[in-house]
Amino acid sequence: MVTNSRPMRPPSAASSPNAAPEKLKVLVVDDSATVRQVMQAILQTDQRISVSAASDPLIAAMKMQKEHPDVVITDLEMPRMDGLTFLRKIMAESPLPVVICSGFAAKGTELALRALEEGAVEVITKPKLGVREFLHESAVLLLDVVWSAAEARIVPRPRIAAPPRLTADAMLPLRAQSHQTKPSQALIAAGASTGGTEALRVFLAAMPPDSPPVVVVQHMPENFTRAFAERLDKECAISVREARDGMRLENGMALIAPGNYHALVNRNGADFVVNILDGPLVSRHRPSVDVLFRSVAGSAGRNAVGVIMTGMGDDGARGLLEMKEAGAITIAQDEASSVVFGMPREAIARGATDFVLPLERIALQALESLKCDRQSDRLQI
């Protein structure tokens, strides 16, 4: 929460009349090296400002522990943790002025309003093209915004009682696989959170063009998942798209659950389709990995592989166990290759995993697990 009162920054207690005034410490967080370099160059034209930079929120958080900045400038779309989540963590743990500089948050848009509601003091819209030129042309604006942000009085947001923690029961009942017709294909369901954008890139890039369909839940805000899917589509041999309601799953395809909606896999005869539904937060998330995994347990049973990757919390651990109990092979990313070992650790602790593997081996194991064995009735892919 930001008030309109803008008191001057207090002088350092260690300062003396003859000492140089303390510099304003600004931390720039952006995954673009160009943006970081240009912002640093612009801000350092003001000798009263000291600038540091980080390529993602996790690196920024480590820097903030060593030296507390006066102002943070952050993008919204970044690897390992999105900007809105980073903003929420700052406001919850150590409130300070945050300026959003992003191409996804034009003033007046829902994303810009959400950033302001979460505590940002200002939003600067960054163009998709010509960013360097835009920043140089907006140097005066950028400097003015930084000094205005530094003088903003940040009031900690009041704590609100957390809503009840819901399980996948809130979206669909746990059901045994009861289809008489066998599905025409196998599928892979994957879930990730913090650090998942890079982990999914490695995982999906290892999929061959004729791989079984993959359905993914990555904890990510609305409006981000389409850009994420488009980026992966350019880097992978398979087609990667943001999921739409009713899409039929096909070999050589990966579907990313859209932000702020749950994704479920259901049967349509011998085919699998993905359904996109609104609904309550499940395991504190929407989309929820638990919801996806439960739907796959019921619709695909042993004709599926479940993969749980890096991420905070425990979303997906319960659902992965349900997949395993339905006959699916289940895989967790190991601690050494995880950015955050929370979700995989919870799944392992519940006995939900058949394999615990480093990131680079997960795709191969998923594909091998779906190959037909002569002593097994698993589907051939």
pLDDT tens per residue, range 261-299: 999 999 998 899 999 999 999 988 899 999 999 999 999
Which comes out higher in pLDDT, residue 356 or 228? 356
Q: Answer yes or no: 68 catalytic.
A: no
Q: From CA 219, how far away is CA 265, in angstroms rounded?
A: 18
User: Do the domains 182-369 and 24-151 match in fold?
Assistant: yes
pLDDT the model gives residue 5: 39
Could you please report the per-residue DSSP string of 79-132? Answer: SSS-HHHHHHHHHHHS---EEEEETT--TTSHHHHHHHHHT-SEEEEPPSS-HH
Which comes out higher in pLDDT, residue 184 or 254? 254
pLDDT digits (tens, 9 = 90+) for 128-150: 667 788 888 888 889 999 998 99
DSSP 8-state symbol, 303: G
Which one is catalytic: 56, 290, 314, 315? 315
Which comes out higher in pLDDT, residue 329 or 119? 329
Among the residue ranges 12-16, 35-39, 43-47, 329-333, the one predicted with the least confidence is 12-16
126 pLDDT exceeds 90? Answer: no
pLDDT the model gives residue 80: 84
Q: Where are the domains of the chain?
A: 24-151, 182-369
Q: Are 287 and 262 in contact (CB under 8 A)?
A: yes
Q: Answer yes or no: 219 catalytic.
A: yes
pLDDT the model gives residue 178: 56
Q: From CA 186, how far away is CA 107, in angstroms rounded?
A: 44
3 pLDDT exceeds 50? Answer: no
82 pLDDT exceeds 80? Answer: yes
Which comes out higher in pLDDT, residue 334 or 13? 334
Which one is catalytic: 70, 82, 193, 337? 193
Could you please report the per-residue DSSP string of 220-261? Answer: --TTTHHHHHHHHHHH-SSEEEE--TTEEP-TTEEEEPPTTS
Tell me the average pLDDT of the chain.
86
Q: Residue 308: which of 255, 262, 354, 265 has the closest Cα?
A: 354
Which one is catalytic: 70, 211, 219, 285? 219
- For the chain, the first-to-last Cα distance in angstroms comes to 53
Most confident listed range (107-116, 260-269, 370-379): 260-269
What pTM did the predictor assign?
0.71
Which comes out higher in pLDDT, residue 105 or 195? 195
pLDDT digits (tens, 9 = 90+) for 171-182: 888 876 655 566
The whole-number average pLDDT for the span 341-345 is 93
Q: Answer yes or no: 193 catalytic.
A: yes
What is the SS3 assignment for 143? helix
Q: Are 193 and 235 in contact (CB under 8 A)?
A: no
pLDDT the model gives residue 107: 61
Q: Walk across the sheet containing 271-277 and list its strands.
A: 247-248, 271-277, 262-268
Is 182-369 in CATH node 3.40.50.180? yes
State which CATH number among 3.90.550.10, 3.50.50.60, 2.30.30.100, 3.40.50.2300 fits the domain covering 24-151. Answer: 3.40.50.2300
2 pLDDT exceeds 80? Answer: no
Q: How confident is the model at residue 77 (pLDDT cuts 50, 70, 90)?
A: confident
The whole-number average pLDDT for the span 347-366 is 97
DSSP helix, strand, coil percent of the chain (3-state; round to 5): 35, 20, 45
